[in-house]
Amino acid sequence: MSVKESQAKSAGTATLTYDNKSYELPALSGTQGPNVIDIRKLYGDADIFTYDPGFTSTASCESEITYIDGDAGILRYRGYPIDQLAQHSNFLEVCYLLLYGELPSAKQASDFDHTITFHTMVHEQLTFLFRGFRRDAHPMAVMCGVVGALSAFYHDSTDINDPRQRVIATHRLIAKTPTIAAMAYKYSVGQPFVYPSNDLGYTENFMRMCFAVPCEEYKVNPVLAKALDTIFILHADHEQNASTSTVRLAGSSGANPFACIAAGIACLWGPAHGGANEAALNMLKEIGDVSRVPEYVSKAKDKNDPFRLMGFGHRVYKNYDPRAKVMRDQCYAVLEELGMHDNPLLKTALELERIALQDDYFIEKKLYPNIDFYSGITLAALGFPTTMFTALFAVARTVGWVAQWKEMVEDPQQKIGRPRQIYTGAAARDYVPVENR
């Protein structure tokens, strides 16, 4: 297994004083971002845990893949700013960058594209697995089940200690996730599955597998395909978010990559995470008209009302999510191409953004639109049902999950993730027979 040396540098020490004792804890610095205090020896030295539910102040790993500066609204994949990649790159090139750390040469890109293209088919027996789902099953339920089942079909690439098998599993996951997502969509609308076509690019292929029917030739609209390819770039990776942390934790036990990605899909489904694009569009539909925006903004501010503005706020971004800006441009491009620029949902979204960005509550809590705010409108205009939005997020995020999983497996510092707790339950007590209770 290729061994990766830590790139963190010493940044002095921190002194913790507790219970009249002092402990010296090493501080480390990375390329950019906050330094960390290395507490790996704290429990052994001081017999105390740190406590950080939600991990708001905790770095779980060392990573070279993605850098986010939430205050400055910065997102970079392997050092390249997201807006430059969105403007100049394509999704498969970004996949190569995330996996291998450098932009590919023309030959490397061509070889990678060919490899991914020739892994897009799934085992024919997988089609029978779909028959077990109801037609109205949520596509994310299908994705969880079918991606997890890949480990039953591709057992020859589940040994995580074999670098060759890791590479094959990586290629299979990136290539087959769009095929499976398209199959989930086709199954939900009662149309036949469409096989991938090797003479199409990654995103064109996905659109054809979703929207082609046997009765006529399907022509990919290049403007729409480019917009979706850009949307995939925006969603490809995002540091140690909830689903990526889930993939890393599952992977830390030695679970096979297909099972780990299925775990990531399950976590992404939550409305506070990847499910927010579906929730955001449903929210815009519920608001219905710009005249009702103030009513919903008040609901979002009311502590007694569980309603939140879906597509707003972020654990890390306390400034405008840099992806949301690019997402909004893609939204305009798609609606323009489709002659839908007077889309009522867009008007509602723009008014909601305008009001929220000047409201003290949102300014004080640093709540800005995130990537999910405009993605729903765009994906609906592209022809996807709301229930497919998070499945599309999963298609794009698979490369980020796999790149982070690969980095974790190759990291000599990694060990099985096993957090502790602060126990506040009952103290020791003896069993009470039922007649005495």
Residues carrying an active site annotation: 314, 372
Residue 348 binding ligand SDX, by CB under 6 A: no
By CB under 6 A, tell whether 365 contacts ligand SDX: yes
| CA dist., res. 233 & res. 65, Å (int) | 14
Beta pairing, strands 21-29 & 74-77? unpaired
Residue with Cβ nearer ligand SDX (155 or 365): 365
Residue from 273, 285, 292, 325 in contact with ligand SDX (CB under 6 A): 273
Of all residues in this chain, which one has the CB nearest to ligand SDX in the complex? 313
DSSP H or E run through 386: none
CB of 252 to ligand SDX, least distance (A): 19
**How far, in Å, CA of 395 to CA of 384, rounded?**
14
Say if strands 9-18 and 66-69 run parallel, antiparallel, or are unpaired: unpaired
Alpha-carbon distance 364 to 22, whole Å? 37
313 is a site residue for ligand SDX (CB under 6 A): yes
Residue 314 touching ligand SDX (CB under 6 A): yes
Q: Which stretch binds ligand SDX (CB under 6 A): 86-94, 195-203, 225-233, 308-316?
A: 308-316
CA distance 170 to 176: 10
Rg, Å, the chain Cα set: 23
Alpha-helix residue ranges (DSSP H) falling in 199-241: 202-211, 222-235
Q: Between residue 175 and residue 204, which ones bind ligand SDX under the rule CB under 6 A? A: none
Residue 308 in contact with ligand SDX, rule: CB under 6 A: yes
Name the residue nearer to ligand SDX (CB basis): 160 or 281: 281
- The window from 1-9, 133-141, 267-275, 415-423 that contacts ligand SDX (CB under 6 A) reads 267-275
Q: 157 vs 245, which CB is nearer to ligand SDX?
A: 245
Distance between terminal CA atoms of the chain?
Answer: 57
Among the listed residues 151, 370, 378, 404, the single contact to ligand SDX using CB under 6 A: 370
What contacts 146, CB < 8 A, 6 or more positions away? Answer: 126, 129, 130, 180, 183, 184
**CA angle in degrees (0–180, nearest 5) for 193-199-205:** 40
SS3 per-residue string spanning 99-117: HHCCCCCHHHHHHHHHHHH
State the minimum distance, in angstroms, from the CB of residue 88 to ligand SDX. 21
Query: By CB under 6 A, what part of segment 221-240 binds ligand SDX?
Result: 238
d(CA 33, CA 40): 20
What span, in angstroms and rounded, lies between the C-alpha atoms of 300 and 221?
38
Q: Is 311 in the site for ligand SDX (CB under 6 A)?
A: yes
Site for ligand SDX in 63-102 (CB under 6 A): none
> Per the structure block, which two tokens stand in for 390?
């998070």
| 266 is an interface residue for ligand SDX by CB under 6 A | no
Q: Is 312 in the site for ligand SDX (CB under 6 A)?
A: yes
Task: Determine if 241 is a binding residue for ligand SDX (CB under 6 A).
Answer: yes
Measured on CA atoms in the order 239, 241, 244, 245, is the torsion positive or negative? positive
User: Can residue 299 be called a binding residue for ligand SDX (CB under 6 A)?
Assistant: no
From the CB of 68, what's the least distance to ligand SDX, in Å?
7
Residue 287 touching ligand SDX (CB under 6 A):
no
Residues that bind ligand SDX (CB under 6 A): 238, 241, 272-274, 276, 300, 308-316, 365, 367, 370-372
